Chains A and B, each alone.
Chain A
Amino acid sequence: MSKDTGDMMTFLEFEKPIAELEGKIRELRSFAGGAGQVDISSEVGQLETKLSKLLKETYAGLSPSQKIQVARHPERPHFQDIVGHLFEDFTPLAGDRAFGEDEALLGGLARFRGQACVVMGHEKGSDTESRIRHNFGMARPEGYRKAIRLMDMAERFNLPVLTLVDTSGAYPGVGAEERGQAEAIARSTDKCLQVGTPLVTCIVGEGGSGGAVAIAAANKVLMMEHAVYSVISPEGCASILWRTNEKAADAANALKITAQDLLNLGVIDGVVAEPLGGAHRDPSRAMNMLGDTLEDALRDMAGVSGDRLRELRREKFLAMGNAGL
């Protein structure tokens, strides 16, 4: 990202030293700009080396609860950013044909690097108005039933399915329960495991429990480097097991929610590297790296029959937990 927009960035608590250093570099530049003649290139160069070292160290040693903050960073690329950046001819499709349209889970037809496909994912929104419209990425049964509808369509027209997961969880509300949130999630997971075309998932931010799994039972499950994926939010886990949500950091450690942990546990198939300092520092580069990995994953499955893809998916999940722990 360009240095000029540094002021507008949201800094996380643990990024303060980084923010300070960036501030210093900016100050030096504007001072030099005002004085006109002063040569500051060596000072700036030194500070920039220091900055890059600091970023590297900070981001290599992120704790699980710091990862959660990065995964929830407001400037991290969201579904609509990613689709806008990596996909062409995106044609959003609305509704579950039974009750309504759920903008927490968006999806439709699109072209990805020349290939027609179905793409879907949770959208959290980027300002107050859009966050409310997208219900902060917490989908209701309609969202999952729309996902089922889109996967059915993908199978009929032999289109691969790409899903992008970014949700704190399915919405816990009266209406959602009334209309069968549990059943909708169960059927959507079922459909993922049934669909006869390639299914690739990337957890791009937060993968929250059943609301994430419902669109993530895929042939290839990827996670971005600083994304998290968990059975329960560390806050929720702490309040149940420790009886205080002040222990959320301990719960985050114990739950093993990082991409690196999940790769070791054999639950995911790959990690998508993020630019130095996280996807929010260079969203466009982060999205390009994601695009390359998605393309590789699809290429690996090109020409594999629908039956075989289904079989491979099922075998992968059945084997999970039986080896490598």
Chain B
Amino acid sequence: MSWLTNYVKPKLQKVLNARETPDNLWHKCKNCGQMIFQKEFIANQYVCAHCEHHDRVPPKDRFDALFDNANYTLLDLPKVKIDPLKFKDTKKYTDRLKAARASTGDEDAIKVGVGKIGGQEAVVGIQNFFFMGGSMGMALGEGIIAGAKEALRLGLPFVMHTASGGARMQEGILSLMQMPRTTVALQMLRDAGLPYIVVLTDPTTGGVSASYAMLGDIQIAEPGAMIAFSGPRVIEQTIREKLPDGFQRAEYLREHGMVDMVVHRHNMREELGKVLSLLMGGRNVKAAAE
């Protein structure tokens, strides 16, 4: 069981023990502007109690809410070559990486866990927007490939939660190559008859939206999530006109046939559990017959 790094216990206690400085005592809703008690906001899965606005969630909180009894094991993800291009803009890429690692405590913008969702075991990948905007570089690509391979090894479905501004520019062409690379991993699942489910969270744009984020057997989106290939600013610059209301939001994508359903975060575990058990149902019948 060397692939298991740690056994993660229910994290509720840790959430409740979060440092209570004046800064994080209150949360101001980005949508309605109402002040919410931070503890309550977190206990409500980062959903505003006044307007139901779904804010961004750190991976740990999402894992806790998603897996039955907040019980799961984290997958040890492969290490990749750091800063292959020796990239430097106004800052060195290695410094940006260090800062992101320090502030999140994670290696990169993806974590993968294995556990039960509504009774159905699954491999779950979560992209972390708080780590350099969830940008897609080599580590992220390797994380998705590792998650898909683990699902393949265990004969489980793979559920990917996306949150990303797109490719990690500091890795240049190597970040772009994660589009075909992750696609290969999904094809392996497809060949094995294992479900791949995408949960699109805010925001999912650029090269991420144009690869693994749009290739799910089932596409689920969180309410209000921005899901786009080109961001609204780029489009406005190109066409020089105002964009329609709700453009590129989850509900808009559902209306335009790009996602199957928009699911409230509070119902996500139940909905995912149901969908996974239905999709795995045929497979179980087949296995019983053989």
- Residues of A whose CB lies within 8 Å of any CB of B are 170, 172-174, 176-183, 185-187, 189-190, 192-194, 209-210, 213-214, 217, 229-232, 237, 240-243, 247, 250-251, 254-257, 262, 265, 267, 314, 317-318, 320-321, 325
Contacts and interface: CB of A to CB of B under 8 A. Distances in A.
Nearest to A244: B90
Contacts of A231: 167, 169, 171-173, 175-176, 207
Interface in B247-267: 247-248, 256-258
10 nearest CB pairs, A to B? A172-B230, A241-B89, A182-B209, A182-B229, A185-B210, A217-B180, A231-B176, A186-B214, A181-B229, A210-B210
B80 A321 contact: yes
A181 B235 CA distance: 13
Interface stretch (B1-9, B104-112, B119-127, B237-245): B237-245
A206 to B, nearest CB: 13
B207 to A, nearest CB: 5
Contact of A178 (B145, B238, B256): B256
Contacts of A194: 187
Given A213-B176, A230-B173, A182 B214 contact: yes
Give the size category of B's interface with A: 35 or more
Given A181-B230, A182-B209, A314-B184, A174 B239 contact: yes
Secondary structure of the B contact surface, majority rule: helix
A314 B189 CA distance: 13
**Do most interface residues of chain A lie in helix, strand or loop, or is the interface mixed?**
helix
Nearest to A192: B180
Contacts of A265: 84, 173-174
Interface in B137-166: 138, 141, 145
B47 interface: no
B183 interface: yes
Contacts of B207: 209-210, 231
A254 B84 contact: no
Contact of A254 (B88, B138, B243): B88
A189 B229 CA distance: 15
Given A172-B238, A173-B238, A314-B187, A182 B81 contact: no
B289 interface: no
Given A187-B215, A317-B184, A177 B169 contact: no
B179 interface: yes
Contact of A242 (B90, B141, B238): B90
Q: Which of A170, A187, A257, A314 has the most B CB atoms < 10 Å from its CB?
A: A314
B167 A172 contact: no
B74 interface: no
